[in-house]
Structure 1
Amino acid sequence: MDRIISWNKKDETTQIPKPPVNIENINGMEMFIHQWWEIAILRIKQMKISGDSAQLFFRQPESRIQSEHPWPAPWISKETGNSAFYLSNAIEFLDEPGEWYADQQNKKIYYWPRDGEDLNVATVTAPLLENLVTIEGTIDDPITNIHFKNISFQHTAWYRPSLQGHVPHQTGMPMTDAYKLRPAGTKNKTSLENQAWITRPEAAVKASFANNIFFEECRFKNLASTGLDYHKGVKNATIKGNLFKGVGGTAILAGVFADEATEIHLPYNPKDERVVTDSITITNNFITDATNEDWGSVGIGLGYTRNATIAHNELKT
């Protein structure tokens, strides 16, 4: 991967080596950048070529959040090299079979067939839904006793990067706002220098306020964001013996990391403890090729939970 040359937080721009091809239409083009423990996906608004370098401008709201939040930020280092990046979604980037380009303006998809592929008889799957199944009760009336066994959940989309960019804080949790404290320090932590608020990635299957929910021997495949999410108020629930393969984000997610209205560094202290996910069991699952779109996500991620059992799961790249 190429490396950025510099990042200008004041102008909210970055300097990169000039792309190897001339790009006529940047509409829909994105920058994927690796920074510390996360990545960011930024929609490109403008590109100015000057000699052997290019200056990139980005769309809002991700442009401001990317440049205002201090951690994780683009890596600048003479010793180890600057942040790695790549650009995507320009038709000029197609240079080998199997690649495709989405022309959003004209609503067309261009695809370079592999040897032996005949698009007249090919099966083409274009995911539309981000969420396939939602199990959602209320805090006073939770859903109870649902058992999924030997069911396949496949082919979901992930729209956030293309609609508003994706600048995550940790574990693939997108930031809705963030900034640097000047001067540093809060009432709870004198050394803290940043503030951030997060939302939750979309999931193919998600449950909240549900008791005795089982997923057993199911298959979660070709999913663009989170696979299975036990979010708020899930009690006595099990995820056992399932396959998670080809997941763009986190395979299994459970528990609240922070409420959207609460700053991420504050302790999670809900007024009603019934929202806490409690007594969940995650065992004997096989997770492979997860986090392949959002590299900062994880195989299994738990926020604030109680009495969780995670045992005998196999995670492979």
Structure 2
Amino acid sequence: MNASNAMTIVNSALNYLATLPQQNRIEVESQNSFTDRYSPVDHVSGSSVVMQQPAWNNNNWGYDTLAKPFGGGQLFLENSYAFLKNTGQWFLDPQAGRLYYKAPGGWVPGSHDVELPRLTSLLRISGSYGNPVRGLTFKGLRFEHTTWLTPGTSVGYANQQSGTFLPAAAPMPADFLTSCQSGCRQFEGARNGWAQAPAAIQVSAATGITFTGNTFAHLGQVALGIGNDADAHASGVGLGASSVTVDHNTFTEDSGAGIVVGGVRPDAHHPADPAMTDRDITLSYNTVSRVALDYREMAGILSTYVTHAVITHNDVADLTYDGVDVGWGWGANDPGGSQDYRNRGLYDFQPVYSTPNGRRRAS
């Protein structure tokens, strides 16, 4: 890096980057210890790769950053026609209306089904806290073919683990590239504004919902989101999912997690309205394999703050990160708080809670 908004090319073999068209569609991806970050390029000038903001700054402060990953740190340049090298790679040029694919020998286009997803969600189930959607069953359906466009915008994907990311610029110290590579006080001030990646099928403010015998495949994001924060729901209403059963379904070939239940913001763990509580969620006998293919820091199944979550007899395999994750907050929102987060300065920005959070057995 030569500045807070750029990288310097030190390998002359990469000088050709300055000659490429549509440089603002190129993306930097960094696969780190527990984050998988995407930051789009603005332009390339000489040996300087200038990045789009706020994605670049947001990806370079906090923990496990693009600049100083805790582990891993594989860095990739993606999304240019010039990068097509290996069989199976593809590039979409919207301006030209063309999709390029590096095909294997003997591949005949007419004998294959090629899909270009345009929808960012397929199904949105959401009422209100006072009048939730009730009593729906979805059985034997195939949910396929969505996209998620945010990582390619100036917001990027300033990933913080398990599908959460920084959605906007936040106040940060001027010297964040040195002072905030393993956390800092101002970073704690941004923590409660983390966003969740949206799902293709979204359930919030709903009760008595069942998914059984369905297939969730070829989705460009999280497959099924149940009671996530409002920012992850196109309806604008988050949380409030109860008595939801997901049984004997298949999740495969998806860009994000298979199933994400619960939110991460304050109303998820200490809801202002009891009707916001996610409760009585059953995930049973599902097959979850080859998900999180593009956002590799996501688990097959994640449950955050849920009252009475039952996760049983699921076959979870062939994943890029964790299989099944339960919980969120690392003790910061438990009664009495966490000394670690007290040392970090989190409680300068939020209360030390004296009451239990939503992650517990039913009362």
In terms of fraction of residues, the more strand-rich structure is 1
Q: Which amino acid aligns with 1:74?
A: L
1:14 aligns with 2:1: no
Residue of structure 1 in register with 2:108 after alignment: 118
Contact 1:44 1:57 in 2 (8 A): yes
Aligned to 1:187: none
Task: Give a deviation string over 1:127-173, Cα, whole Å, max 9, x none.
Answer: 11110001011101011111111111111111111223111222121
1:224 corresponding residue in structure 2: 220
Give the residue type in structure 1 aligned to 2:50: F
* Alpha-carbon distance in structure 2 between the residues aligned to 1:144 and 1:254: 18
Structure 2 unaligned runs (5+)?
176-183, 228-238, 319-363
Secondary structure at 2:77 match in 1:
strand
Task: Name the counterpart of 2:284.
Answer: 283
The equivalent position to 2:145 in structure 1, one of 155, 158, 165, is: 155
TM-score between both structures, scaled by the size of structure 1: 0.83
Question: In the alignment, which of 33, 36, 59 is matched to residue 36 of structure 1?
Answer: 33
Rounded Cα–Cα distance in structure 1 between residues aligned with 2:296 and 2:110: 35
- Residue aligning to 1:4: none
**1:245 aligned onto 2:252:** yes
Aligned with residue 109 of structure 1, among 66, 76, 99:
99
Alignment of 1:190-229 (within 5 A): 192=185, 194=187, 195-196=189-190, 197-229=193-225
Asked whether 1:234 is paired with 2:231, we answer: no
Does 1:174 pair with 2:165? yes
Contact 1:21/1:93 (<8 A) preserved: no
The TM-score, its normalising length taken from structure 2, stands at: 0.73
Q: For structure 1, which segment, 242-251 or 90-99, has the greater mean C-alpha deviation from structure 2 after superposition?
A: 90-99
2: CA distance, partners of 1:315 / 1:211? 26
CA contact (8 A) 1:36 1:73 kept: no
Q: Secondary structure at the match of 2:296?
A: coil
Residue pair 2:33, 2:72 contacting (<8 A) in 1 also:
no
Counterpart of 1:200, as a letter, is Q
1:61 has 2:54 as partner: yes
**For residues 68-118 of structure 1, what are the alpha-carbon distances to aligned partners after superposition, in whole Å with 9 as ceiling and x for unaligned?**
x322313548xx987211111111111233322122443322223322222
Q: 1:21 offset after TM fit, Å?
A: 7.9
Aligned equivalents of 2:50, 2:165: Cα separation in 1: 20
SS in 1 for 2:263: coil
Describe the shift of the 1:61–1:105 C-alpha distance in structure 2 as closer, same or farther (beyond 3 A). farther
Following the alignment from structure 1 to structure 2, what is the Cα–Cα distance between the partners of residues 48 and 241?
A: 53
Aligned CA-pair RMSD: 2.7
Displacement over 6 Å in runs of 4+: none
| 1:72 equivalent in structure 2 | 64
Instruction: Write the letter of the residue equivalent to 1:59.
Output: Q
CA distance in 1, matches of 2:62, 2:310: 35
1:63 Cα offset (Å):
2.0
List gaps (5 residues or longer) in structure 1: 1-6, 184-190
Give 3-state SS (helix, strand or coil) of 1:161's partner: helix
Q: CA deviation at 1:59?
A: 1.0
Q: Does the aligned pair in 2 maintain the 1:218–1:241 contact within 8 Å?
A: yes
Offset, 1:192: 4.8
**Which region of structure 1 is more displaced relative to structure 2, 224-233 or 18-27?**
18-27
Match of 2:128 among 119, 138, 142: 138
Distance, in Å, in 2 between the alignment partners of 1:310 and 1:65 is 34
Cα distance in 2 for residues equivalent to 1:181 and 1:312: 47
- Paired residue total: 292
Partner residue, 1:270: 271
1:156-204 CA-partner distances (Å, limit 9, x unpaired): 1111112231112221212124455699xxxxxxx85623222221211
- In the alignment, what sits opposite 1:316? 317
CA-CA distance at 1:18 after TM superposition: 4.9
